Amino acid sequence: MKNITLSIDESVLQAGREYARQHNISFNVLVRRLIEQTVVQKRGRWLEDTFALMDKADVKSGDEKWSREDLYRV
């Protein structure tokens, strides 16, 4: 495992350490998990991630109705 050096705002560091303490993990473990969850593709997560992105899109279709063929048209 490689060691890295990060620059982080003091208030963010303190908040991160407090969060880690409350969850009985080290700050190092917290950072490692966050990076893994963010950049390492996990099997089966793509569908949940896709729906989460769709929910964030905040697009309204109005009264528009689509057929299956319409959805496949690019």
Contacts 24+ apart (CB under 8 A), 30-33: 31/6
Selected residue with higher pLDDT from 63 and 3: 3
Predicted model pTM: 0.54
14-57 tens-digit pLDDT: 999 999 999 999 999 999 999 888 887 666 677 788 888 888 88
Contact 19, 34 (CB under 8 A): no
Residue 33 lies in a domain: yes
pLDDT band per the 50, 70, 90 thresholds, residue 71: confident
Residue 5 lies in a domain: no
pLDDT band per the 50, 70, 90 thresholds, residue 13: very high
Per the structure, the count of domains in the chain is 1
Q: What is the pLDDT of residue 41?
A: 66
Which domain does 43 fall in, by range? Answer: 10-57
Residue 71 lies in a domain: no
> Which DSSP state fits 73?
-
